Structure 1
Amino acid sequence: MSAALQGAAPAVIPLGISIIRDELPAERVLSSIALMSSTLGIGAAIGLPVAAVVIENFDWHTMFRASAALGLLDLVLVLWSAARRAFALRPYAEVTMRGIAADAGVSPSLIVKRFGSKEALFNTVADFRPAADALFAGPPEALGRHLVLTMVRLRDRLRGDPLLRGVFSLGNDDERTLLREHFREQVTDRPAALLTGPDPQVRAELIAGQLLRLGATLSLHRPDGVGGRTPPDRLADLYVPGLRRLIDGD
Structure 2
Amino acid sequence: MSEDNQSRNAAAGQKQRAQMEKDSVATHHELSGQGLTKRNEEFMFQLGKQLDAQGAKPEKKTQAVEETLTALIEGQKTGTTAKQLFGTPTAYATEIVKGPVHRGPREQSSYKLLALDNGLMFFNIFAFMFGLMSLFSPKSMAADQTGTSGITAIILVAVSGGLLFAWVTKVLSPAKKGEEKKPVWYKILSVVAALIAWVAIYFAASLMPTVINPILPGIAYVVLAVLGFLADMYVRRRFNIVGGAFAGGQTQQSKK
Q: Same fold (TM over 0.5)?
A: no
Q: Which has the higher contact order (CA 8 A, sep 6+)?
A: 2
TM-score computed with the length of structure 2 as normaliser: 0.21
Largest Rg, 1 or 2: 2
TM-score computed with the length of structure 1 as normaliser: 0.21
Higher normalized helix content (fraction of residues): 1
